[in-house]
Amino acid sequence: MKNELAIIGEFNPASETHAATNTAIEHSKKLLEIDFKVSWISTEDISEELLKHFHGFWVAPGSPYKNMEKALFAIEYARKNNIPIFGTCGGFQHMMIEYARNILGYKDAQNAEYEPYASELFISELACSLRGREMELKLTPNSTVASLYGKLQVKEKYYCNFGVNPERNDLIQSGPISIVGSDNEGEIRVLEYPGHSFFIGTLFVPQALSTGKNPHPLVTGFLQAIMKNKIAEQASTPDAKSPGI
């Protein structure tokens, strides 16, 4: 039997963002009145066989990861197999690298957090750290992200020192990925992949602002996509039974 959600990253019980990830999932589970298994998976342990056991993936904050290549493999696996995937902070950065390498064709695309002097930097150190800051964002009308929020302007909290290299903005937007959120300076902060069941990345950490009374809409939308994926897969199985949630 498959578990519903794998959180990809190196879990640290002392991490504020990791604690917030677990808590935000609980907030949205309670709102949706669902219960399912959630497992943290170290990037060192990722394999195709392991990934087959999950209905969704959350690529968590906390990079650099122990194994960048395996983290990228998990993102590619989810993208190609239409499995819901959500990336926040470091997860967003790795979604962008996977896109640059496997869709745009820049096989040496790199993150400055791993290789600061790489020739093909798509993720670079920010001129000013965003760690601990809350900032306004503008969302693209009719995007999945905007529909989940139900509005076009939001405020979110960041924990990052790295983001999209501004020199790559035009190149990034020349491909199929949709840039659906930016700050007041026009810097890329949210991406989604059109036509996918749920492929969304945010440089900010939405789970940090989730509360019991107000679960974060992106987290809730992500869990809904996972459950939809689970139900669809069970329905397509010849001896499928009614899904137990």
Q: What is the domain count for the chain?
A: 1
Decide: 114 and 64 in contact? Cβ < 8 Å.
yes
- What is the rounded distance in angstroms from the CA atom of residue 35 to the CA atom of residue 190? 28
Per DSSP, the three-state class of 221 is helix
* Higher-scoring residue by pLDDT: 197, 2: 197
Instruction: Provide the greatest CA pair distance for the chain.
Output: 56
- What is the rounded distance in angstroms from the CA atom of residue 174 to the CA atom of residue 113? 25
Decide: 190 and 200 in contact? Cβ < 8 Å.
yes
What pLDDT score does 238 carry?
60
Q: What is the pTM of this model?
A: 0.93
pLDDT higher than 80, residue 111:
yes
Residue 219 domain flag: yes
pLDDT digits 0-9 by tens, 3-44: 689 999 999 999 999 999 999 999 999 999 998 899 999 999
What pLDDT score does 2 carry?
65
Decide: 85 and 59 in contact? Cβ < 8 Å.
yes
Residue 242 domain flag: no
Kindly state the DSSP code that residue 142 receives in the 8-state scheme: T
Q: Which two tokens stand for residue 183?
A: 């700050």
pLDDT digits 0-9 by tens, 47-92: 999 999 999 999 999 999 999 999 999 999 999 999 999 999 999 9
Residue 102 domain flag: yes
Residue 138 domain flag: yes
Residue 241 domain flag: no
What phi, psi does 151 have (nearest 5°)?
A: -165, 170
Decide: 87 and 68 in contact? Cβ < 8 Å.
no
Residue 16 domain flag: yes
Residue 98 domain flag: yes
What pLDDT score does 61 carry?
96
Q: What is the CATH number of the domain that holds 96?
A: 3.40.50.880
Range of the domain at 139: 3-236
- What is the rounded distance in angstroms from the CA atom of residue 66 to the CA atom of residue 44? 6
DSSP secondary structure string, 175-212? SS-EEEEE-TT--EEEEE-TTSSSEEEESS-GGGG--S
Residue 93 domain flag: yes
